[in-house]
Chains A and B, each alone.
Chain A
Amino acid sequence: MAYIGLLSLLAVMLGLSVILISLNWLLGPKKKEPYKTYPYECGVPLYDDTAQTTFHQGYYILGLLLLLFDIEVAYLFPWAVVYNFLGVFGFIEVFLFLVILTLGLVYAWKKEALDWQFDLESL
């Protein structure tokens, strides 16, 4: 029952965004000109025809770390809620868990995985 409000807001927002997207098409002028739809690259001819190519990113390993840490934080949420009822046992257990987590972070730090990876693929 509690989620009815959320769903109705979702429906309203979806409708609203569709309206906002199409308003320009309804209200704006429509005038065709050559090169109007040419992709913007500082007003000169494109070197590569498309931008949808492989594009190396330096944070690939950070992405993997995100998966690990986000899953672990999901374990921590329920623990955080009931922490006071668990007593010393709950504290030590999660302390060990966090130590292992931190060790992983330290390991990644030492391996320089937290910096941007640019030299992995040499040209």
Chain B
Amino acid sequence: MQASEKTLNEIKLRIPYVEVKKDKLISIVYVQKELLINTLKTIKEDFGFKLFIDHSVIDTLEAQNRFEAFYILYNVDTKERIVVKTKTEHSLPSIERLWFAGKWAEREAYDMFGIHYEGHEHLVRAFMWDTYSYFPLRKDFPLQGYENVELPSLNETVFGDNLTGTMNYRRTHTYVPTLKDLEYTEKNRIKKKAQVVLNWGPLHPGTHGTMWFLFDLEGERVVQTDVILGQLHRGVEKLAEHEPYQQFLVYTDRMDYISALCSNQAWTVAVERLLGIEDIVPLKAKYIRTMMSELQRINSHLLWLGTYALDLGALTIFLYAFKEREKIMDIIEGITGARLTISYTRIGGVRMDLPEGALEVIESFIKFFPKELKDWEKILSRNRIWLKRNKDVGVLTKEDIFFYGLTGAVARGSGVFYDIRKLEPYDAYGMVDFDVPLGENGDCYDRYLVRVEEMRQSVRIIEQCVQKLKTMSKNEPFMAESQDPKKLRLTLDGIGLKVPAGEVYSSGENPRGELGFYINSKGGLKPYRVKIRPGSFYNLCVYPHLMENRYVADAVTILASLDPVVGEIDR
């Protein structure tokens, strides 16, 4: 929920120099740059907005105070969300003392907009290499980038320049890092304190993608850690500014590629909220989306469970999990026609109705699946080796959750009740019955238990959705109809969908934490700025802290228990 009128008024009373604004979608506190830190501190400590959600910058292209920065905060107790905004020319004070997660957000904003943060401990780029000289998300940076390097295609290398037609690509590409650039970057990120610096990743089986970790090792003890991101950086936020709302859907598939349906749903709901058509989306579509998202959640957690066990040496669980995962993949393929990058939802509904027999297949799957899950738990949950590797490893307190801006199963593993499905129900989540498992100690073992229990809860949700969908007739609509097609065009292809000016922050509960979309629209076919709040990115930011004085062997345990996906971190 957005912060209520009452809270805003109290803030206004307490801090007289701020301005507050509230509409249906968003509650904003405007403050001057010089007073930003004090305001944030008061809002955090006195008003209980402890959980850091997101921070970034909008390039307004105005002559004065070109950049508008926003900070999104959440109060877990009163379930309120607030946005703090400020304007700046080129520099901002750093909030790293208030929220560590802000440090990473600031690195990203520095990387993308060139904002200088005063008081930031180690201001380096987040995704690009350190010798890169442009700021890609500024509006004056062209979409296709600056051409710099000659990189002939393989055909051209083999056949020379004689290729014609479609075989002959443009040979100049945007700037790519050389080995020297990378070496400079890696030496800039971490200053060696101990004996050797080990490159752990990007091409490594234990890093779950192309993440590049640097471990400063004293024996097997990790003294300091840093992460070099950006191996999968595609500039999704830049692309979003140049795509119609519906077309951007396919990019959300490619962010968290393991839970594409959940990302689809989060984006669609965000746009629907911005349009104000959340209520006219047919019930059937809502139930289908919810059911599919939960299937995807089981699918994603199975991948996590498999790789987690694999990292700890139990290869067999990996194959068991993948076998069940394959069944879900087949179900999803049967319904949507795609397995990985699905794009099933549409603004106003879903792409097509469920095919005949789909509900029966799902029903038989969820009947069998809990038994299978029980078997795996027999192998793992009470296993002494498993306990030894997981108990008291990577402990996160409740305060850590707020300080590092952690969400999803990681937050719930530490006992913080933070589940968007319950706090801010979207689609059919308000209409189904399910529990949110919470951990006690906040160690890797608790996070493991939470995720396993979440799979059971997903089965419960799917069961209810299937029952509900069985009662609906084949002829019920799965796509919303617009009352006034001239003002609002709702079609399957989404062409010509005009969105009124406004801004919204809307999020969905992804398997890897809160996936939020801050959409700023100036009206028209395309958004002006889209900031994606990736769960994995902020969940990963606690990793260097957790790795302090741990063994190399714990690196896999902790990383797998945070469960990041590079596609979502890098975007």
Binding site for B on A (CB under 8 A): 41-48, 51, 53-58, 118, 121, 123
CA of A121 to CA of B199, assembled, Å: 24
- B-chain residues with CB within 8 Å of residue A47 when the two chains form the complex: 186-187, 192, 196-199, 214
Known A42-B201, A44-B202, A56-B218: A123·B223 in contact at CB below 8 Å: yes
| Smallest Cβ-Cβ distance to B220: which chain A residue | A58
A interface footprint on B189-200 (CB within 8 Å = 1, 0 otherwise): 000111111111
Are B197 and A56 touching (Cβ within 8 A)? no
Q: How far is the CB of B552 from chain A (nearest CB, A)?
A: 12
B199 & A123 in contact (Cβ 8 Å cutoff): no
Instruction: Let me know if B219 and A42 touch, CB within 8 A.
Output: no
- Asked whether B218 lies within 8 Å of A46 as measured between CB atoms, the reply is no
Nearest A residue to B179 via CB reads: A45
A54 touching B202, Cβ below 8 Å: no
A44 to B549, CA, bound (A): 25
Q: A44-B182, A45-B182 are in contact. Are A51 and B196 (CB under 8 A)?
A: yes
Chain B residue, CB-CB nearest to A58: B219
Report chain B residues within 8 Å CB of A57.
219-220
Between-chain CB contacts (< 8 Å), 16 pairs: A42-B203, A42-B212, A43-B202, A44-B182, A44-B212, A45-B182, A46-B199, A47-B186, A47-B192, A47-B197, A48-B196, A53-B196, A56-B221, A118-B219, A121-B218, A123-B194
A55 to B220, CA, bound (A): 8
Nearest Cβ on chain B to A69's Cβ, whole angstroms: 23
B23 contacts chain A at the CB level, 8 A cutoff: no
Q: Are A56 and B219 in contact (CB under 8 A)?
A: yes
Pairwise interchain contact A55-B197, C-beta atoms closer than 8 A: no
Interface contact A42-B195, CB-CB below 8 Å: no
Q: How far is the CA of A51 from the CA of B200 in the complex (A)?
A: 14
Q: Indicate whether A54 sits within 8 Å of B195 (C-beta atoms), given known contacts A44-B212, A45-B183.
A: yes
Which residue of chain B has its CB nearest to the CB of A43? B203
Nearest Cβ on chain A to B13's Cβ, whole angstroms: 50
What is the bound-complex CA distance between A123 and B216, given in angstroms? 12
* Complexed CA–CA distance, A46 and B199 (Å): 7
A55 CB contacts on chain B under 8 angstroms: 195-196, 217, 219
Q: Which 9 A-B pairs have the closest CB atoms?
A: A56-B219, A47-B197, A43-B203, A45-B183, A41-B199, A42-B204, A42-B203, A42-B199, A118-B221
User: CA–CA, A44 to B223, complex, Å?
Assistant: 21
Type the 1/0 row for B363-402, where 1 means its CB is closer than 8 Å to any CB of A: 0000000000000000000000000000000000000000
**Are the C-beta atoms of A123 and B193 separated by less than 8 Å?**
yes
A56 to B193, CA, bound (A): 14
* Assembled-state Cα–Cα distance A56/B197 (Å): 13
Determine which residue in B198, B199, B217 has the highest number of CB atoms from chain A within 10 A of its CB, and name it.
B199
* Chain A proximity of B115: nearest CB distance (Å): 28
Q: Which residues of the partner chain B approach A54 to less than 8 Å between Cβ atoms? A: 195
Give min CB distance, B127 to chain A, whole Å.
16
A14 to B182: give the CA distance in the assembly, Å: 44
Decide if A42 touches B200 in the complex (CB within 8 Å): yes
Q: Shortest beta-carbon distance, A90 to chain B, in Å?
A: 39
B446 to chain A minimum Cβ distance, whole angstroms, is: 25
A47 to chain B, nearest CB (A): 4
Q: Given the complex, which residues of B lie within 8 Å of A48, measured CB to CB?
A: 192, 196-197
How far, in angstroms, from A109 to B193 measured CA to CA in the complex? 31
Residues on B with C-beta less than 8 A from A41 are: 198-199
Report the Cα distance A21→B221, complex, angstroms: 35
Min CB gap A37→B, angstroms: 15
User: With A42-B200, A42-B212, A47-B187 as given contacts, are A56 and B179 in contact (CB-CB < 8 Å)?
Assistant: no
Q: How far is the CA of A45 from the CA of B199 in the complex (A)?
A: 9
Q: How many Å from the CB of B34 to the closest CB on chain A?
A: 39
Residue of B nearest to A54 (CB): B195
Residue of A nearest to B216 (CB): A47
CB contacts (< 8 Å) of A121 on chain B: these are 218
Q: How far is the CA of A55 from the CA of B203 in the complex (A)?
A: 24
With beta carbons under 8 angstroms apart, the residue of A44, A53, A58, A118 that contacts B199 is A44
